[in-house]
Structure 1
Amino acid sequence: MTSDPVGLFELASANDSTGRPELAEPLYRKALESGLSGYRRRRALIQLASTLRNLGHPEQSVALLTAERERQESDELDDALDAFLALALVDTGHAREAAGLALAALAKHLPRYNRSLAYYATHL
């Protein structure tokens, strides 16, 4: 097996996409541990968190995604991260927090009512 972080990430993604999350999980972890960086690192983290949730470990998913949010390194994946965090939060019994997170992400993309929706989202 390769030790190339990009190769590991791509192999993990392929396994995930073809319905083999149990094979994908260790590959995502190895890719991240092997120094996967930049945009792919963030994608791998989001995909690993989703895989963990699907494998019945939503608490681990919440922990990974929350830690990534706290890094405050913003890019075009911010809303995807929040969406997957919202899913994991629902699975851990935090539906109101999940709804607030999802609505806050959505508010940025609406043609109107952005401020109102963002306000309501923070008060859920």
Structure 2
Amino acid sequence: MNINWAHCYFLSMYVVTVPLYVCILWKMYKRRNNTKFSTTFLALLISQGVVDLLFLNSLLLFGISSYVILTSEEKLDFTTILCNMAYKCLLCAIYVRGFGVLLMSFQRYLTICRWTSWLNIVSSF
């Protein structure tokens, strides 16, 4: 079981980042009913934060599970499955992040440029 510097860096950043990220998302989630914080942008930001947390946890799960298999025959089969799962998870996270950025950009465009539009009025509720 050989752990290189990239694994140590990822684990140390994971230990620092994830609890902080969870606290920030929890505070944003608790304040979503407040009129000052109940915006479409905040809802999109919370959803993007949840996707980030799921992706970080899946990376940690895939990284740990790659070291669990001990025999080389099982490791070869498991590595193929693990690579496919990691690729599909990454692809899904990129699609969700891209769609979220698109929605946030569209919401900002409506708020800044088309603030009198019916779509902006409907989306603010």
TM (norm. structure 1) is: 0.28
Point out the structure with max Rg over C-alpha: 2
Higher helix fraction (1 or 2)? 2
TM (norm. structure 2) is: 0.28
Relative contact order (alpha carbons < 8 A, sep ≥ 6): 1 or 2 greater? 2
